[in-house]
Structure 1
Amino acid sequence: MAQGTGWWRSAVVYQVYPRSFADSDGDGIGDLNGITSRLDHLARLGVDVVWLSPVYASPQADNGYDISDYQAIDPAFGTLADFDRLLAEVHARGMKLVMDLVVNHTSDQHAWFVESRSSKDNPKRDWYWWRPAREGFEAGRPGAEPTNWASFFSGPSWTLDEATGEYYLHLFDRRQPDLNWENPEVRQAVHEMMRWWLDRGVDGFRMDVINLIAKDPALPDGALTGTAGLGDGYPHYGTRERVHDFLQEMHREVFAGREGLLTVGEMPGVTWDQARRFTDPARREVDMVFQFEHVSLDHGPGGKFDPRPLDLRALKASLGRWQTALAEVGWNSLYWNNHDQPRVVSRFGDDGGYWRESATALATVLHLHRGTPYVYQGEELGMTNAPFPSIDDLRDVESLNHYREAVAGGVDPEVVMAGLRAMGRDNARTPVQWDAGPHAGFTTGEPWLPVNPNHTRINAEAQYDDPNSVFHHYRRLVELRHTRPVVALGDFRMLLPDHPHLYCYERALDDARLLVLANLGADEQDVELEPGWEAEHVVLANTDRARVKAGRAVLGPWEALVLER
């Protein structure tokens, strides 16, 4: 059993994407006062922590993940006074508030970068990664970029600044230049900003792509990927040893001596053995990490926008491996959805005939693992992917860049759109569906992104008074974690790892045992049970037809049962 007694082991976190949560002023964009007005929904669900995606001042090139002022609220979301009121109301309901921390990069409109690009000898020049054109190449010519690294958002990861004749590094959009964490002044400025928010009363940080901050200063080329001569730079900036120095320093300078905080590192490409080091309490780095292994299993040869059906056996192998690896040291975060992932009921479930059953079965499977579960806004309602008729209906920079590049390369536009409808990030960003009225009760104006047409049947108001709703199933899962120590702290044992449709496991703590049985498919399945499990042991089910007797359970399509003894 993992060491330590962090409060977050029995907690559930709820992610709010402010732009799409609730709009208080009718401008079509969600805001802080809108979030405050809907906090009773979160209290009713029973969650412990609100994770707030970025609300800082931003030009919104990447929907707020391009920050121009870390200590100001973007006017689209409100004011610092609005934020303080939200924070107070969160605390009044016994919940904590965690801020999104985006410090791998800033906006190109941040004062630091404006200074940095003003001249080669500016004191802040070295706050970012600047390099001349590749030797033997003229700046601005194809292939002149200092390295061949590909950007996560398509194209090269370097952009030429005409004024100074040098290139700056951006692992994401060209409007998101990367900070140089090798410069101690950068680290000190970030630490000061973080302390400012903690002193204001926030309860921790979710750290965006934090394992990418430690670049190899030599900036070597990456292995060619076959895409327009670009290379994979990840080995030279992803999860390098130096990042542990940076996180331990951050812990000393920012978190040490403060109680009750939560620190979560989003870490693309992180492996379970690396995660053990990051989350080992003795190393004082972060409490848990977001890993991407399980949400990459349905990516085809062409990447995330070339999806393939999920092989449940691969999913069990992946999540089971993480459960085992972090059993003695470290801690898992558990998620299906977030602002970067499509809706799980459409992705891994059946959002048609078995919509409610598959939404609740997937929730059951995830939440009763060992780790801290994360609920993304609308997930607790079973919100689905959106239809998105054309590229004109999308807003996400990643999707728009991919569409432009793929179509220019000769791919059929409808094939590209099919991939975007399945996997695009805008699926997570359609407004929360509060009721069946105009714009789903999200706004009285025109929403920044169209509301999913199915809001007339999938919405919070319709589910509050329905004890069999997706919402109440999530509420009961949260309650189980709060009231059953075996859920928070028990050992994990995967059952039937090779079964293509059943996801079953057991949790055990002292004399308490919990058995989770889920049929993640449309065909009825039989499960042979160990002696001692009987119908009276069922403590949660997502249907009213639980059939457990004579040493076996019969699970209907997308049926999930939880038994306790």
Structure 2
Amino acid sequence: MAEHGPQNAPETPWWRSAVIYQVYPRSFADADGDGTGDLAGVREKLPYLAELGVDALWFNPWYPSPMADGGYDVADYRGVAPEFGTLGGAEKLIADALELGIRTIVDIVPNHISSEHPWFRAAVADPAAAERELFWFRPGRGADGELPPNNWISEFHGSAWTRTTNPDGTPGDWYLNLFDSRQPDLNWAHPAVREEHEDVLRFWFDRGASGVRIDSAALLEKDPALPDLAPEAVPNGGTHPYIDRDGLHDIYRAWRHIADSYPDRRVLIGEIWLPDTERFARYLRPDELHTAFNFDFLTCPWEPARLKASIDGTLAAHAPVAAPATWVLANHDVTRTVTRYGRADTSFGFAAKARGVPTDLDLGTRRARAAALLTLALPGAVYIYQGEELGLPEVEDIPVEKLQDPMALRSGGVSPGRDGCRVPLPWSGDAPPYGFSPAGAESEPWLPQPDDWASRTAEAQDGDPDSMLELYRTAIRLRRAEPALGDGELDWLPDAAPDTLAFRRGDGFACVVNFGLDAVELPPHTDVLVTSGPLAEDGALPTDTAAWLRV
């Protein structure tokens, strides 16, 4: 298969400059009409993805799962959930995508498994079962063991511990679950846990997967003493009891050895949230992970100084280990860009997932278009979450009774959760299900779609030069053709106007983004390659607009 992009010399790994499209399978395309997206639906849309110009697809988990947490509660790492298709269908999808020059990255979830996994079912069935050593079972505190073993808090609210019931009906030990109670944490000190995951890597690499994205990659190792978490504890310096512990690096060195053993070397991508850039970079040393998600940039507000600092900090963190940076505006966990950028507070934190926050979608859309050009011009790889190329907003009026995210359910109504960015995509037509499901399907989409999305469908935007879809297509095509883009160096333009970000890539390309209230004059150039919005009559760059220039 040919490498994408003339900027990639034959010896340059594809992933250093890739445009990677995130597919959330439940919400991408429903081929069989049951209201849930499936792998057959993705296969039908491969021509769309090829026309968009992406280099790879990253799939959220497609494994058999009770779906307590959108598939991140895995019951079988070597299968495909029936609602998504079959293992043979996954193999066919991987092969068909490769025929179009598109690689596949699968999601690996190593921190925890489903409470329906055979290991955990055996562990809870018998307090003396050997499988209990694969997890973190502990007696409770208090006179009768009625209190959790420590004070750790779940990422989904409430205690990180769940008490079992013995076969005779009496209260039993507690088990650790940093996420939902149906996602028991694995004990990575046990060799069987390591061996199992190494075999799972080989399983998917043998079936053509070009890489894996590692969920919650910094959480696997725990302090065996399971101490209480001090109020001031932060993941800094490797001393936190369950975040960024030093033993993780041996795990990923073993994984890298496996990835490098394949002729077409596979890529390891970590989901790593760490405030310490030096600790973050350790995961990207030449014998560990290839890349990691850039959450600092993702959570940045729409402010030039903050974004510039994030870009500089990201590039500086990656430089010592010669790893490529990654850039992303949205994913299946965060408020969609069009909505976030239309608010008074344009940063992201999970606390920002709230109902009733005023949003200017026109403003958010204008900024999201500029942000698309900004990210696609930066050095390294870019991730695009499905629907961002359509300019979809967050759906914030899903009826409470239809919410499915455990983050919403466990919060007692405090958080609306993440369902608003997971609503099924609109493909065609002027009413739900907008082509997500085939005509005449008896089942409604698993999450309700808004009634006003007709103008946002892929069909409505196809061929419209002013649409978000055509902006993404144009920018990705130019990125592929432009020798300076993708991996490489970035130089800030010294004479840039105030409240702008302006940088040069190579000898002949520049990107300028205007964050100010007034239009600004563009730097000297010979051609305007693309803009996120129309220029002023005098050729100036309006507010919240980006331009790619030949200089």
Q: TM-score, normalised by structure 2?
A: 0.87
Q: Does 1:564 align with 2:540?
A: no
Find the residue that maps to 2:15 and give its secondary structure: helix
Q: Does the CA contact (< 8 Å) of 1:388 and 1:394 recur in 2?
A: no
Please give the alpha-carbon distance, in whole angstroms, between the structure 2 residues aligned to 1:453 and 1:351.
18
What is the match of residue 467 of structure 2?
Answer: 469
> Which AA in structure 2 matches 1:155?
G
What is the match of residue 273 of structure 1?
Answer: 278
Q: Describe the shift of the 1:88–1:222 C-alpha distance in structure 2 as closer, same or farther (beyond 3 A).
A: same
What is the match of residue 436 of structure 2?
Answer: 442
What is the match of residue 513 of structure 2?
Answer: 518
> Which AA in structure 2 matches 1:159?
T
Please give the alpha-carbon distance, in whole angstroms, between the structure 2 residues aligned to 1:495 and 1:120.
65
Choose from 392, 404, 409 the match for 2:401.
Answer: 392
Q: Describe the shift of the 1:389–1:70 C-alpha distance in structure 2 as closer, same or farther (beyond 3 A).
A: closer
Deviations 1:350-399 (A, max 9, x none): 75334653332110111111121001111111111113154224221112
Q: Does the CA contact (< 8 Å) of 2:341 and 2:364 recur in 1?
A: no
Please give the alpha-carbon distance, in whole angstroms, between the structure 2 residues aligned to 1:399 and 1:376.
21
Q: Which moved more, 1:255-264 or 1:171-180?
A: 255-264
What is the match of residue 268 of structure 2?
Answer: 263
Q: Does 1:318 align with 2:313?
A: no
Choose from 535, 541, 546 the match for 1:555.
Answer: 541
Q: Does the CA contact (< 8 Å) of 2:17 and 2:382 recur in 1?
A: no
What is the match of residue 290 of structure 1?
Answer: 293
Q: After TM superposition, which residue ranges in structure 1, 4 or more long, deviate above 4 angstroms?
A: 494-501
Residue 59 of structure 1, CA deviation: 0.2
Find the residue that maps to 1:439 and give its secondary structure: coil
| Greater fraction strand | 1
Q: Does the CA contact (< 8 Å) of 1:538 and 1:562 recur in 2?
A: yes
Please list every run of 5 or more consecutive structure 1 residues that lacks an aligned counterpart in the other structure.
Answer: 227-232, 299-309, 407-415
Q: Does the CA contact (< 8 Å) of 1:492 and 1:505 recur in 2?
A: no
Find the residue that maps to 2:428 and give its secondary structure: coil
Q: Does 1:139 align with 2:145?
A: yes
What is the match of residue 221 of structure 1?
Answer: 228
Q: Does 1:126 align with 2:119?
A: no
The 5 A counterparts of 1:197-276 are 197-224=204-231, 235-269=240-274, 271-276=276-281
What is the match of residue 19 of structure 2?
Answer: 12
Q: Does the CA contact (< 8 Å) of 2:338 and 2:368 recur in 1?
A: yes
Q: Describe the shift of the 1:497–1:39 C-alpha distance in structure 2 as closer, same or farther (beyond 3 A).
A: farther
> Which AA in structure 1 matches 2:530?
L
Q: Does 1:340 align with 2:333?
A: yes
Q: Which moved more, 1:315-324 or 1:94-103?
A: 315-324
Choose from 502, 508, 531 the match for 1:541.
Answer: 531
Q: State, as a whole percentage, how many aligned pairs show the same letter.
A: 36
Q: Does 1:483 align with 2:477?
A: no
Q: Does the CA contact (< 8 Å) of 2:105 and 2:211 recur in 1?
A: yes
Find the residue that maps to 2:22 and give its secondary structure: strand
Q: Describe the shift of the 1:184–1:47 C-alpha distance in structure 2 as closer, same or farther (beyond 3 A).
A: same
Find the residue that maps to 2:91 and give its secondary structure: helix
Please give the alpha-carbon distance, in whole angstroms, between the structure 1 residues aligned to 2:270 and 2:99.
27
Please give the alpha-carbon distance, in whole angstroms, between the structure 2 residues aligned to 1:234 and 1:156.
21
The 5 A counterparts of 1:71-82 are 71-82=78-89
Deviations 1:437-479 (A, max 9, x none): 3311111330110113331111100111112321121112222
Please give the alpha-carbon distance, in whole angstroms, between the structure 2 residues aligned to 1:390 and 1:26.
22
Find the residue that maps to 1:538 and give its secondary structure: strand
Q: Describe the shift of the 1:528–1:367 C-alpha distance in structure 2 as closer, same or farther (beyond 3 A).
A: closer
Find the residue that maps to 1:205 and give its secondary structure: strand
What is the match of residue 505 of structure 1?
Answer: 502
What is the match of residue 115 of structure 1?
Answer: 122
Q: Does the CA contact (< 8 Å) of 1:337 and 1:376 recur in 2?
A: yes
Q: Which moved more, 1:203-212 or 1:428-437?
A: 428-437
What is the match of residue 361 of structure 1?
Answer: 370
Find the residue that maps to 1:60 and give its secondary structure: coil
Find the residue that maps to 1:471 and give its secondary structure: helix
Q: Does the CA contact (< 8 Å) of 2:256 and 2:268 recur in 1?
A: no
Deviations 1:306-354 (A, max 9, x none): xxxx554323322331123223522211101111111101102475334
Find the residue that maps to 2:231 and give its secondary structure: strand
Residue 189 of structure 1, CA deviation: 1.0
Q: Does the CA contact (< 8 Å) of 1:316 and 1:497 recur in 2?
A: no
Count of matched residue pairs: 512
The 5 A counterparts of 1:27-66 are 27-66=34-73
What is the match of residue 375 of structure 1?
Answer: 384
Deviations 1:197-244 (A, max 9, x none): 111111110110111101111211112389xxxxxx992111111111
Q: Does the CA contact (< 8 Å) of 1:327 and 1:491 recur in 2?
A: no
Residue 170 of structure 1, CA deviation: 0.7
Q: Which moved more, 1:114-123 or 1:47-56?
A: 114-123
Q: Describe the shift of the 1:429–1:387 C-alpha distance in structure 2 as closer, same or farther (beyond 3 A).
A: same
Choose from 161, 166, 172 the match for 1:165.
Answer: 172
Find the residue that maps to 2:456 and give its secondary structure: coil
> Which AA in structure 2 matches 1:506?
F
Find the residue that maps to 2:452 and give its secondary structure: helix
Q: Describe the shift of the 1:159–1:442 C-alpha distance in structure 2 as closer, same or farther (beyond 3 A).
A: same
Deviations 1:477-511 (A, max 9, x none): 22233222321233223468999853x131333xx
Q: Does 1:152 align with 2:155?
A: yes
Q: Describe the shift of the 1:43–1:316 C-alpha distance in structure 2 as closer, same or farther (beyond 3 A).
A: same
Deviations 1:167-195 (A, max 9, x none): 11111000000111111111001111211
Find the residue that maps to 1:555 and give its secondary structure: coil
Please give the alpha-carbon distance, in whole angstroms, between the structure 1 residues aligned to 2:144 and 2:111.
29
What is the match of residue 5 of structure 2?
Answer: none
Please give the alpha-carbon distance, in whole angstroms, between the structure 1 residues aligned to 2:536 and 2:97.
38
Please list every run of 5 or more consecutive structure 2 residues that lacks an aligned counterpart in the other structure.
Answer: 1-8, 343-358
> Which AA in structure 2 matches 1:21?
F
Find the residue that maps to 2:373 and give its secondary structure: helix
What is the match of residue 351 of structure 2?
Answer: none
Residue 427 of structure 1, CA deviation: 2.1
